[in-house]
Chains A and B, each alone.
Chain A
Amino acid sequence: MSNILVILESRDGSLRAASLEALGAARIIADQRGASVIALATEKCELDATLLGGAGADKVLLADAASHSADGAAATAARVAKESDANVVLLSATVRGRDLTARIAALLDTGFAADCTAIDADAMTFTRPEFGGRAFATVKINGPVAVASLRGNFFAAAGREASAEVSEVTSETGVSMVTEISSQAGGRPDVSEATKVVSGGRGMGDAENWPLLEAVADAIPGCALGATRAVVDSGWRPHSEQVGQTGKTVAPELYIAAGISGAIQHLAGMSSSKVIVAINKDAEAPIFKHATYGIVGDALEVLPALAEELSKLDL
């Protein structure tokens, strides 16, 4: 019987939440096909068997070394995929996850699909954005194993009551080495992983006006900051906040676009968001065609009122 292997991602010894979404997706495939879900942590970290079991794992394999090396992790994953007779390998579409996806596929002599937003467990096809989200391709992987990374906020942990059995596996050593990880200041979630995003465009006028946007983000728990390409290219904000093609693609529950007109590259990067709020002076701006709710007005006047109204809710 073939199995589903999920590669867990950790940082500083802790599991990253995105991995639980991959376990949930794996659970659906496994139930459909009568297979087991095996979770593999390619580097030693703290794992909670009840959390992983509840999210969808039947069995958890924990690597015996803490070394950070992408090639080592890929080698461990490919070996375990063979040992555990996996015909589907799932990862999170993070920077590390996408990297590993391609490496594991190369080691297993098969194809891969990155950033999947849907899986058909019956036909075993994966749907994924192409052209920066301006089209969605449904693909079938012709090879012994289907390796895919899953985009954040499109899949959910299984939410069942179960505990997984944990055992140790030997980790392969790699040739490249992560020597240092430095967290960025601010403490806000990354825009690609947040469930709420408030994003600013040219209509913010100047970098000095960003505290208005930050005040809105501060009033919403777990809210990340985003920016358009024009804002990043002007040096107002760092590239890590850029949403859209040549930046990050996001699909939060709530996306607030302030002073953003809605260039095609930006729309492609955020139009999968569940609820979109547009605040723009120009009633004809393309962003309004994509927005769930719109306010026609100057972002610099609307944002302070929004921050105040939100703070009353005590979220």
Chain B
Amino acid sequence: MNIISFVKRVPATTANVAIADNKLNPEGVEFVLNPYDEFAVEESLAIKEAAGAGSITAISFGAGETQKELRTVLAMGADTAVLLANPAAPEADGATTARVLAENCKGREFDLLMFGKQSVDRDQHGVGPAVATLLGVPCITEVVKLELAEGKVIAEREIEGAREIVEATLPCAITCQKGLNTPRFASLRGIMAAKKKPLEVVDVEIGETTVEVVAMNLPPARPAGRIVGEGAAAVPELVSALRNEAKVL
């Protein structure tokens, strides 16, 4: 079982976002492995362990600093890592990222392409299905349960108010949703071993980006609200305000 697990370096979800030059001002921002990619890495490791054979390659399209996140993935247990390096990668849109990743997958052998369901910076939810489409392999998105059986995958995914069971043949791409598993922490032994594992850095060209950011703004400030009162006694006034003032009831 050969698995490629795609990862991205992103600002922590707790980070305060400041904008400069129509992009995130990285000053003072903590960067982490994209939380959804952790589910993808964990699932890759579990699948390899269950199969008892195979290899896991972690691939990231990122700037040079992303070597840190790739070392983390190697410490978790991936076998090799590849950084497709370009300083403009953190700002690249989903379609551009997918094009770069798909181009680099051509010529690699794989049974599974594992993605997080979204990166928590661009939030496009689209790199996995776009890469799969460009490579002509099936893709199942937002998976919360995954089973492998004789050359195919059976996946469960959450859609609005329901669950879907989807089947596809290998090779196949999966995007991982919270609930699929609980990602492991890298052990001390894993961290030591990761230092000796191969991490290849390949400079890549982006070419023309498909989506151009013309403006980036902080969310509009909400108008000041008011405290209607304390405890259960304030409820009649609240309900009256919702009905007569805000007119939402």
Known: A220-B249, A274-B248, A305-B232. A131 touches B138 (CB 8 A): no
Closest chain-B Cβ to A291's Cβ sits at a distance in Å of 5
Give the distance in Å from the alpha carbon of A185 to the alpha carbon of B155 in the complex.
Answer: 20
Q: Kindly state whether residue A133 has any CB partner on chain B within 8 Å.
A: yes
Note all chain B residues with C-beta closer than 8 A to A246: 13, 35-36, 120, 178
Which of B128, B138, B154, B211 sits near A111, CB closer than 8 Å?
B211
Q: Which residues of A contact B142 (CB under 8 A)?
A: 95, 99
Stretch among B44-52, B59-67, B212-220 lining the A interface: B212-220
Residues of B within 8 A of A264 (CB): 13-14, 16
User: CB distance A71 to B248 under 8 Å?
Assistant: no
Check if A139 sits within 8 Å of B214, measured CB to CB.
Answer: yes
- Please give the distance in Å from A122's CB to the nearest CB on chain B: 13
Which residue of B126, B218, B225 contacts A288 across the interface (Cβ within 8 Å)? B225
User: In this complex, what residue of B is CB-closest to A310?
Assistant: B239
Nearest residue in A to B212 (C-beta to C-beta)?
A140
Instruction: Indicate whether A295 sits within 8 Å of B230 (C-beta atoms), given known contacts A102-B130, A139-B211.
Output: yes
- Which of B1-9, B106-114, B161-169, B191-199 interfaces with chain A? B161-169
Does A184 count as interface, using CB distance less than 8 angstroms?
Answer: yes
The closest CB in chain A to the CB of B234 belongs to A295
Q: Which B residues are in CB contact (< 8 Å) with A245?
A: 13, 120
Asked if B160 and A309 make an inter-chain contact with CB atoms under 8 angstroms apart, the answer reads no
B148 within 8 A of A: no
Number of A-B contacts (CB under 8 A): 288
Task: Identify 20 new A-B residue pairs, CB closer than 8 A, beyond the known A111-B95, A113-B211, A176-B168.
Answer: A68-B164, A71-B133, A102-B128, A103-B130, A111-B93, A114-B126, A125-B214, A136-B218, A140-B211, A174-B138, A178-B164, A181-B165, A275-B248, A292-B226, A293-B226, A294-B225, A294-B226, A294-B227, A297-B231, A302-B232
Q: Which of A101, A181, A189, A272 contacts B164 (CB 8 A)?
A: A181
Question: In this assembly, does A296 line the interface, its C-beta being within 8 Å of a C-beta of chain B?
Answer: yes
- Minimum C-beta distance from B106 to chain A (A): 14
Q: How large is the interface on A (under 10, 10 to 19, 20 to 34, 35 or more residues)?
A: 35 or more
B45 to chain A, nearest CB (A): 20
User: Does B238 lie within 8 Å of A293, measured CB to CB?
Assistant: yes
Is B160's CB under 8 angstroms from A94's CB?
yes
Q: How far is the CA of A256 from the CA of B244 in the complex (A)?
A: 17
Of A142, A181, A276, which one neighbours B209 at CB under 8 angstroms?
A: A142
Closest to B35 in A: A246
Which of A70, A99, A100 has the most chain B CB atoms closer than 10 A to its own CB? A99
A138 within 8 A of B: yes
Main secondary structure of the interface of A (DSSP, over half): mixed
The verdict on B77 contacting chain A, using a C-beta distance below 8 Å, is no
Q: Find out whether the CB atom of A176 lies under 8 angstroms from the CB atom of B139.
A: yes
Residues of chain A having any CB pair with chain B under 8 Å: 11, 68, 70-71, 74, 94-96, 98-103, 105-107, 110-115, 123, 125, 128-143, 174-184, 189-190, 192-193, 196, 220, 239-240, 242, 245-247, 253-254, 263-265, 271-272, 274-277, 283, 288, 290-298, 301-302, 304-306, 309-310, 313, 315
A180 touches B164 (CB 8 A): yes
Residues of chain B having any CB pair with chain A under 8 Å: 11, 13-17, 19, 22, 24, 35-36, 93-96, 98, 120-130, 132-134, 138-142, 144, 154, 157-169, 172, 177-179, 208-219, 222-223, 225-232, 234-236, 238-239, 241-243, 246, 248-249
Whether the pair A276, B225 counts as a contact (CB closer than 8 A) is yes
Complex Cα distance, B216 from A180, in Å, reads 41
Q: Are A253 and B248 in contact (CB under 8 A)?
A: yes
The reply to whether A95 and B158 contact each other, CB–CB distance below 8 Å, is yes
- One of B165, B179, B210, B248 near A180 (C-beta < 8 A): B165
Does A130 lie within 8 Å of B159, measured CB to CB? no
Find chain A residues with CB under 8 A from B215 CB. Answer: 137-138
* Closest residue of A by beta carbon distance from B160: A190
Which B residues touch A129, using CB under 8 A? 123, 219
A284–B115 alpha-carbon span in the complex (Å): 40
By the criterion CB–CB under 8 Å, are B229 and A295 in contact? yes
Is A265 a contact partner of B179 (Cβ separation < 8 A)?
no
Q: A105 and B238: CB pair below 8 A?
A: no
Q: Tell whether, in the assembled complex, residue B161 and residue A190 are in contact, meaning their CB atoms are under 8 Å apart.
A: yes
Nearest B residue to A292 by beta-carbon distance? B225
Q: Please indicate the chain A residues that have their CB under 8 angstroms from the CB of B241 in the complex.
A: 293
Name the B residues within 8 Å of A247 (CB-CB): 178
